[in-house]
Amino acid sequence: MRQGHELKGEILYNQALEYKPPLWLRNGHVQSIWPSLFRTVDVTLPEQEILPTDDTDELHLDWYRQGSSRLAVLSHGLEGHSRRPYIQGLARALLREGWDVLAWNFRSCGGVMNHQPRFYHSGATGDLDQVVRHGLAQGYQTVGLAGFSMGGNLTLLYLAEQSERIDSRVCGGIAFSVPCDLAGSADTLARPSRKIYMQRFLRDLQVKMEEKSRRFPNLIDTTGFDRIQTFHEFDDRFTAPLHGFRDAQDYWSSCSALWRLKDIRVPALMVNASDDPFLSARCFPTGPDLLGRHTRAEFPRWGGHVGFVEQAKDGYYWSERRAIEHFSRLLA
C-alpha cells in the first residue's frame, strides 16, 4: 500500500489508495467542516457508565454492547466527545461487524466537568490505559483501539508506551488525522489561513478554563485569555503547568507519538489525508526508522481533518470502511 508515493509541496501522499471523493469534496477545508455541520448518524443510544480514576476523578463512558467477545475502544479528538458523528459513525459500523464498542470521554469532555484541576492532553495515556483495563476486565477476548485526531495520537502513543508488555488480548489499533508531530501541528494551526479553526478551539477551551478558574482560583487565572491566539500560548499557560510539563515545547516533545511509533509491537495503522489543514509535514512519516516494524502509514490524497466523506446508501464514510478492513485483518 505504500507504493506510488509522490511529493507534492510539503506533503507526501499515496496515489494507490481507493478513496476518491466527488470533485466538490476534493478540498481539505470542505472535508474538515462538512461532517460537523451536516452529518447525523442513526445509532442506538449507548449505556452510560462513570469510571472512577486512580486520582479520585472520573471518566464518562458510552457502551454499545451486543454480547460480542470483541471490543473496540474509541477515542475522540480535541474538544470532541463520545457522541460526535465520527465516533458514532465508526461505532455503528463496528457494531454491524459484530464488535462491542466503548467510546470514552476525555476529562472535562462530554458535557461534564471533571473534578481535578487537570483536564486532558495529547499524552494522557494513563486515562486510556484505565479505560482499556476496564474493558478487558469485562471478559473480552479481543480488544482493538481506534482514535481520531488528538485521540489518534493518544492511541498510538499508548500502544508505543505499552510496547512489549501490552496485554495479549489487545490486537492493534487504527488512527485517523493524527497530529503526531504536536509542535508542527501547532505551528500549522497558527497560520492566518487556519484562524477559523483556532478561534473555535479557543472559544470552547475558554469556557472550560473559566469554570476551572472558578473552582481552583489559586491555581488557574484566565485574566487576558482573550489575547491568546495560538496553541503555543494556550499550552504554555495552561496545559503544560497543569500536567507537569515545563512549557509547551516540553509538552509537545514528550507527547508526540511520532517519535515513539517504532516502539509499537502490535499492528497499527495511521491514516492521514494529504490535504489535512491541521497537520505539518512531519505528520506523514515513512520508513522503518520512524514507523518501526509494526506500524503502517497511509496518506490518501483527500480527506481533510477527520473527514473522508462519502455519500453512500449505507451511510458509511470511507474512514469507517478502512477501519473495518483493518480490524478484519487483525482478526484474521
Domain 5-181+256-331: state its class.
Answer: alpha beta
pLDDT band at 15 (very low <50, low <70, confident <90, very high): very low
Which tens digits make up the pLDDT trace of 262-274? Answer: 999 999 999 999 9
Measured distance CA(144)–CA(73) in Å, rounded: 6
For residue 18, the model assigns a pLDDT of 80
With 80 as the cut, is the pLDDT of residue 2 above it? no
For residue 332, the model assigns a pLDDT of 85
13 compared with 84, residue with greater pLDDT: 84
The lowest-confidence range among 9-23, 192-206, 261-275, 278-292 is 9-23
For residue 21, the model assigns a pLDDT of 95
For residue 183, the model assigns a pLDDT of 98
With 70 as the cut, is the pLDDT of residue 10 above it? no
For residue 146, the model assigns a pLDDT of 98
Which tens digits make up the pLDDT trace of 87-139? Answer: 999 999 999 999 999 999 999 999 999 999 999 999 999 999 999 999 999 99
Q: Phi/psi class of residue 98: alpha, beta or left (left: φ > 0; alpha: ψ in -120 to 50)?
A: left
With 80 as the cut, is the pLDDT of residue 252 above it? yes
pLDDT band at 17 (very low <50, low <70, confident <90, very high): very low
Which tens digits make up the pLDDT trace of 167-196? Answer: 999 999 999 999 999 999 999 999 999 999
Which tens digits make up the pLDDT trace of 45-70? Answer: 999 999 999 999 999 999 999 999 99
Instruction: Please state the separation of Cα 8 from the chain's center in Å.
Output: 25
Domain ranges of the chain: 5-181+256-331, 183-255
Question: pTM of the full predicted structure?
Answer: 0.94
pLDDT band at 81 (very low <50, low <70, confident <90, very high): very high
For residue 1, the model assigns a pLDDT of 31
- CA angle (122, 38, 84) in 5-degree steps: 30
CA dist 36 to 107, 171, 180, Å?
21, 30, 22
pLDDT band at 8 (very low <50, low <70, confident <90, very high): very low
Half-sphere exposure of 270 (CA within 13 A, CB side): 35
For residue 4, the model assigns a pLDDT of 31
Expressed in angstroms, the distance from the first to the final Cα of the chain is 18
For residue 6, the model assigns a pLDDT of 34
Contacts of 28 (CB under 8 A, 6+ apart): 273, 275, 276, 277, 302, 303, 304, 305, 307
Mean pLDDT of all residues belonging to the chain = 94
C-alpha cell at 17: 489508495
With 80 as the cut, is the pLDDT of residue 12 above it? no
pLDDT band at 284 (very low <50, low <70, confident <90, very high): very high
